Structure formats: structure tokens, C-alpha cells
Chain A
Amino acid sequence: MSDNEKLQKLLRLKNYETPGEEYFDDFLDQLKKRQRQDALKQSALVLLKERVVEWYRELGSAKWAVPAGSFAALAVTLFTLGGKMSEEELSLSVQPEDAKTPKSEPQLIELQLPSNTNSPRSMPSQGGSSVLPAAFGGYREL
């Protein structure tokens, strides 16, 4: 008898490590009880999740198409939404941005320029307390 056969004979002894018939009768009863409890407990959401997982597992090699497709769809959606949002943001931000740009300066310049002061462009940076004609209530640094 080869070593493998001897080993197999020894291992086959483990077949005796089974419980008696009573155990299996009780086992079936317990299983039925559990199935009834499970049916009551298990929510539709859990069942749905399990089915999705099972379906995904059964897809085989095509399963990578699902995350790839989802990612592509997500990317396209984000790109589309992102484009629209940035347009909206841009249109909303035009007004405050304009206020800071040099385009608004001529208005101030016109207001700030007494005939004998320095260049209007340098006025705010030169201390801001420069004087406007009294009719305008003085000058406030921006």
C-alpha cells in the first residue's frame, strides 16, 4: 500500500465524525424556523442588494463593463453639468468683478478729480484720505 493510500485510509476515518440522524431532523426544523423569521425580517432593500450583487457576480468577464460604463456616464454628466454651472457662475460673477476692474475707475476719477490734485489713478494708494469736493461728502478709500 502506497503512502498516499495509507494517508487516504487514515483520512477516511473522519467520515465517522458525523452527528446522528436526530441532529439532522432538528437541523431541518431549525432551518424552517429560521426561514420564516428571515422572511419577516428581510427588507425589500436587502433582497434587492443581494440580487444586484448576485447578478453582478454572474456577469462573468463582462462585469468590468458595468463600472466602466457607470464611470463614463458619471463623467459625461459631471462634464455637462459642470459646463452649465460654470456658465451660470460666470454670468453671476460679472457684476462684482466689474466693480473691481479698472473699468470702474473712470467713474471714480470723474468724481474725485478736483482740478488741482494729483493724478486720479494714484489717489487711492496715496493714503485714501484725499479730499473730494465737499459736495461729495469727502473721499472714502475703497
Chain B
Amino acid sequence: MTESKRKPDPDSELVARAKEGDTAAFDELVTKYSPKLYGLIYNMTSNREDTHDVLQDVFAKAYRSIKRFRGKSSFYTWIYAIATNMTLNFLKKRKRRQGMSLDDIDSSIENDKEFIEITSKSDPVHETYLGELQIKLNEAMQTLSDNHRAVVTMYDIQGIPHTEIAKILGVSEGTVRSRLFYAHRQLQTQLGEFWT
């Protein structure tokens, strides 16, 4: 896509101010993107503490690098690319460090107020079922490779289109689609029991 055809970046003003050293502008960007990036990192790491640490690192890095952000992509793509790369690197290190077991996966959604309010409806059986489903979902996600999990998180969970994912990961759209196809097949095998 050429520069002229590209949509204007909705964050350009905040980014320009942040580049000038306006910390309040950078704070606004953090407030805007931290929930989305939290979701991205959490669904890749399945651990809340790790998510918190990586998210802090992502914004710290973005703050240090924002002066070198040239606006070739939108700020949204840029910050997502930083978050994805840092999470993938973190996962590599974590694997080397401990060989993470499924026991380390956080299944604290059962304690998540918002989730319980929306889904439980005072039905203990239903609640138990959702708790199990959540654990199964996380376990199934962890069986995917890091790259496949990243694509599933962005496309299926966060609803980011293929083209945008391709830009974030720096791969072709075909690669994104092929990773999704493979990941879906694997997830369907593991989660099929929940819709039969």
C-alpha cells in the first residue's frame, strides 16, 4: 500500500507529542493499548505474572524507541510488533529456563469477576463447565507452537484481520492463513468435545 493511499494513523498526534517528550501523551497511548496488548501477551503466555512483566517491558521499550518511530506503519502495528516479538523471545527464554509444564498455566478465570457475572447465571453446573472449558482452552492453546498461538490469539481471539497480522509479524498473508489452518485443525481435535 502506498503512503498516499494509507489511512491516516489515528494516533499520529499523540505519537508526535510523545516524540517531543510529552509524557502525558505517551501515558494516553499506554492507557489506550494496554488492555489489548495484555490480551495478546496473556493468551500467548497463559500466565498473569509473566504477562505483567512482559507488558511493562514492552511499554518501557516503546518509550525508549518512540523517537525512532518513523511512521512507516501505524503506531498500533508498531506497538503490536514490539509486543509480539518480545513475547516470542520471552517464551523462548522461559522454555530454556524451566521447560514450562501445564501446571504453570494460569486458570484464574474462575475467579474473574466479570467473566463469572456474564457466564455463570447462578448455575453451579454451568459454572463448573465453564471453568473446565477455560482450563481446556488454555491447555489446547499451549499445545500450539508459539508462532501458531500468536496468530490464533490475534485472529480468533482479538479479531485482527489477516493483512494486519501479516504486517505485525513481518510475514506474508499466505503464511498467516497457513498457520491459522494448521492451528485450527489442531485445536478442533482437542476441543471438539465442547460442541458435539
A6–B188 alpha-carbon span in the complex (Å): 9
A16–B118 contact, CB under 8 A? yes
**Which secondary structure dominates chain A's binding surface?**
helix
B115 touches A17 (CB 8 A): yes
Instruction: Determine the chain B residues whose CB is within 8 A of the CB of A45 once the complex forms.
Output: none
B103 interface residue (CB < 8 Å to A): no
Whether A17 touches B31, Cβ cut-off 8 Å, given contacts A7-B156, A34-B60, is: no
When distances are taken between beta carbons in the complex, the residues of chain A under 8 Å from B10 are none
B30 partner, pick from A16, A17, A20, A28, beta carbons under 8 A = A28
Question: In the complex, which residue of chain A has the Cβ closest to the Cβ of B156?
Answer: A11
| B30, B64, B134: most-surrounded residue (chain A CB, <10 A) | B64
The reply to whether B195 and A17 contact each other, CB–CB distance below 8 Å, is no
Alpha-carbon separation in the docked complex, A14 to B152 (Å): 11
Q: Is the CB of B38 within 8 A of A18?
A: yes
**B60 and A35 within 8 A (CB):** yes
Give Cα A21 to B101, complex, Å. 30
Asked whether any CB of chain A lies closer than 8 Å to the CB of B133, the reply is yes
User: What is the CA–CA distance of A20 and B112 in the complex, to the nearest angstrom?
Assistant: 9
Is B184 interfacial (CB 8 A cutoff)? yes
| B152 contacts across to A, CB distance below 8 A | 11
**A87 beta carbon closer than 8 Å to chain B:** no
Residues of A bordering B, CB below 8 Å: 3-4, 6-8, 10-20, 24, 27-28, 30-32, 34-35, 38, 47, 50, 54, 58
